[in-house]
Amino acid sequence: MHFTAVSTLCVVIVSAAELTSGAVMHEDLKTEEVYGRIVKYCEHGGLRYLRGSRFKDYDNCSTCTCDKTGLTCYTMFPVITEPEDSECTYMIVGCRVRWVLKRNNQRRCPEHLIPDQFF
C-alpha cells in the first residue's frame, strides 16, 4: 500500500505537504482460488469488493473504486498544511474540513483568517 498526493504532478507523501488536493491510496488487486476458479477482488476494512465496485468509507473519509488494477481510494478533503503563524487550525468533521480558532476550537475561524490556499 502506498500513498500519493494528486496535483499537477504526483508526489509521494512522506509527511504533510503543501498541496491543495487530496491524498490517494492504491492497493493491488488480490486473487484467490475458490471452488477451482480464480477470483479477483479488492479488500478494504476487512471486506472484499468485486471489480467494478465503488463505495465511500466514512471512517477514513475516502471514496474508493475497485477496478482491474486494484483498489484506489481518494480522500474527501485536501491535504492541508496550515501556516505556523495562522490564528486558525482545521478539524475534520463529518469528512469535511472545518476551520476553527486555535485559541478556542469551539468557534469557527472568520473567513479572512483562513489561509488563502483554501478559497
Q: For the chain, which residues make up each domain, given as ranges?
A: 2-75, 88-118
22-26, 31-35, 42-46, 103-107: the lowest-pLDDT one:
22-26
CA angle 72, 75, 79 (to 5 degrees): 125
Q: What is the mean pLDDT of residues 82-92?
A: 88
Q: Which three cell numbers stand for residue 107?
A: 468557534
Q: How confident is the model at residue 92 (pLDDT cuts 50, 70, 90)?
A: confident
* Complete DSSP assignment for 70-101: EEEEEESS------TT-SEEEEEETTEEEEEE
> Contact 26/71 with Cβ under 8 angstroms?
yes
How far from each other are the two terminal CA atoms of the chain, in whole angstroms? 31
Is residue 116 helix, strand or coil? helix
State if pTM tops 0.85: no
Give, in order, the Cα–Cα distances in Å from 49 to each of 40, 71, 93, 117.
Answer: 9, 9, 27, 36
Q: What is the mean pLDDT of residues 56-62?
A: 91
> Contact 108/97 with Cβ under 8 angstroms?
no
Other Cβ atoms within 10 Å of 87 Cβ, number: 13
